[in-house]
């Protein structure tokens, strides 16, 4: 294991520990939401990191089309898997919040709906990629699919601005629309989950690259 990777893992472990401590001990109960505010830190940050993951897929896809280097396709596909994981966490934590605060787990709120569409959309890309056998064609067409799916991410992000929604607008151009301690905890959760994403992307990339090499060896022997 090289030194840079070791530092990344160590920093992620420390920051994640601080994030857990701030979420459950440092952040005080909110005036109207009470203890439910703690769910927010497990909900907002995974959502933003999921957007980052699908943005990474877009960048990886563009780079593959431009450079024709398979490593960018592997990064793009790996980022989809992790983006789906964080979208799932967002949906589940959102449902827990909605059930506790509004009494109904699923409200067909525009942000909920567009986030579910986002999850299905990127799951469809994985399903599509599995249906193409030729490795180079899969990379080429999968990258194109990764590019043209990105407007769904944009729609999910702006949905709270164009529809009447139950979701409060927490992040505004003027800063965070919450108390100082809660803002600090949210920022820490964003950094921690961003780092967890980086670690997961690194691990998934290495596993998928190894799997690619194994497949190449099998193909050359058959």
Partner 1 sequence: MSSGARAAAAIARKDIVSQARKRFEVFSMFLFALISVLAFSFAVAGQVEADTASALVWVIIFLTGMFGFAPVFISEAETGTLRGLSVAPVPSWSVYIGKVVYGFVIMGIVEVFLIPICMAMLNFSFTADPTFVLFTFAIGTLDLAAVGAMASALTMPAESKSTVYPLVYFPTATSALILLVEITRILVSGPGLIPVALLLQFLVAHLLAMTSLSGAVFHFTLTG
Binding interface with partner 1 (CB under 8 A): 65, 110, 113-114, 117, 120-122, 124-125, 127-128, 131-134, 136-138, 140-141, 143-145, 147-152, 155, 158, 162-163
Report the nearest approach of partner 1 to the CB of residue 149 (Å): 5
Q: Please, which residue, 118 or 195, has the CB nearer to partner 1?
A: 118
Q: Please, which residue, 138 or 182, has the CB nearer to partner 1?
A: 138
Report the nearest approach of partner 1 to the CB of residue 113 (Å): 7
Phi, psi for residue 91 in degrees, rounded to 5: -65, -45
Could you tell me the two tokens for 221? 């022997």
Q: Please, which residue, 84 or 192, has the CB nearer to partner 1?
A: 84
Report the nearest approach of partner 1 to the CB of residue 145 (Å): 6
Q: Please, which residue, 107 or 113, has the CB nearer to partner 1?
A: 113
Report the nearest approach of partner 1 to the CB of residue 152 (Å): 5
Q: Please, which residue, 135 or 205, has the CB nearer to partner 1?
A: 135
Q: What is the sign of the dihedral through the CA atoms of 127, 128, 134 and 140?
A: negative
Report the nearest approach of partner 1 to the CB of residue 151 (Å): 5
**Nearby residues of 138 by Cβ (< 8 Å), 6 or more positions away:** 73, 129, 132
CA within 13 Å, CB half, 54 = 32
Please give the span between the terminal C-alpha atoms of the chain, in angstroms, as a whole number.
32
Helix or strand run (H / E) with residue 165: none
CA 105 vs CA 46, 101, 160, 204: distances in Å: 18, 9, 18, 32
């Amino acid at each position: 294991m090289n030194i840079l990777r070791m530092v990344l893992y160590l920093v992620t472990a420390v920051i994640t520990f601080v994030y857990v401590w701030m979420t459950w001990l440092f952040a005080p109960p909110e005036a109207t939401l009470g203890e439910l505010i703690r769910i927010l830190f497990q909900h907002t940050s995974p959502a933003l990191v999921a957007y980052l993951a699908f943005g990474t897929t877009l960048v990886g896809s563009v780079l593959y089309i431009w450079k024709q280097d398979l490593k960018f396709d592997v990064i793009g596909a790996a980022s989809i898997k992790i983006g789906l994981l964080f979208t799932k966490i967002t949906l589940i934590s959102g449902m827990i919040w909605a059930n506790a605060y509004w009494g109904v787990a699923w409200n067909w709120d525009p942000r909920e709906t567009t986030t579910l569409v986002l999850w299905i959309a990127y799951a469809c890309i994985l399903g599509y990629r599995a249906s193409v056998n030729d490795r180079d064609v899969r990379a080429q067409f999968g990258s194109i699919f990764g590019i043209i799916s990105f407007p769904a991410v944009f729609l999910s992000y702006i949905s709270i601005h164009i529809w009447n929604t139950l979701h409060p607008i927490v992040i505004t151009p003027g800063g965070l629309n919450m108390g100082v301690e809660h803002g600090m905890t949210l920022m820490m959760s964003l950094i921690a989950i961003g780092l967890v994403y980086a670690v997961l992307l690194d691990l998934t990339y290495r596993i998928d690259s190894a799997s690619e090499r194994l497949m190449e060896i099998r193909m050359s022997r058959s």
